[in-house]
Amino acid sequence: MPEQDNPSRRAFLATGAAAVVALTAAGTTTARSAPLPLTPTCVDDDDTPSNIEGPYFKRNSPQRTNLRTPGVTGIVLSITGFVYTMKCAPIPNALLDFWQADDRGVYDNTTFKMRGHQFSNASGAYVLETIVPKDYPGRTPHIHVKVQARGGPILTTQLFFPDNLRAYGMNVAYLNRRDAYLDRECEVELGPLVGNRYTAKFDFVIDS
């Protein structure tokens, strides 16, 4: 199928968002009691790309949605999103296992600092409370994740950040360009830095 007939999830999102803006500008939005439908966040068969696991995965991480445990410092990051099937149906009770470097670019391989797993809720939604990870030699800032529907195959991938991320003096645009594992399809949708906090969104589409 030609590329133009199979847009990526991110291209689809951009098109949908532009349509909503156009409707608003034309004065065709509905009343507050009946808002416009949410922009679709999934395209059939457009699954989230896999990526390397890397050397730092540890099994049996604690179940928790908040990785900002006592002693963790850094720029606060809250990521929200959904887990979908390849036919865009939400997946409840999907396993999401996250692990990452801290604000110094260091993995804790002794305890479970900056590690944790959780399950999507009945609507397929998840939330991760963490910090922005710092880069380390050879790698741009990223967050590792494994995602699995109950009984389904495991997706192992990484989440990345846009070039305009500002944290710890990093030049993220430069770091992104030189990272051999960067996948823009796995780049989070990042909100503005407010105080010491970023918010971000990312939806996973997996084979179930």
In 10 A of CB 73, how many CB atoms?
A: 10
Report yes or no: 96 and 143 within 8 Å, Cβ to Cβ.
Answer: no
Q: What mean pLDDT comes out for the span 96-118?
A: 98
Q: 9 versus 91: which is more confidently predicted?
A: 91
Residue-level pLDDT at 7? 42
* 172: DSSP letter: H
Q: Choose the weakest-confidence range: 4-8, 38-42, 75-79.
A: 4-8
If one compares 113 and 10, the residue with the highest pLDDT of the two is 113
Q: What is the pLDDT of residues 123-168, one digit of tens each?
A: 999 999 999 999 999 999 999 999 999 999 999 999 999 999 999 9
pLDDT at 34: 43
pLDDT computed for residue 144 by the predictor = 98
Tokens standing for residue 103:
């604000």
Give pLDDT tens digits for 7-59.
444 443 333 333 333 323 333 333 333 444 444 468 766 899 999 999 999 99
How far apart CA 20 and CA 42 sit, in angstroms, is 17
Number of neighbours of residue 37 by Cβ within 10 angstroms: 9
pLDDT, greater one: 165 or 6: 165
Round the average pLDDT of the chain to a whole number and report it: 85
Residues pairing with 144 in the sheet: 99, 158
- Report which residue type is found at 150: R
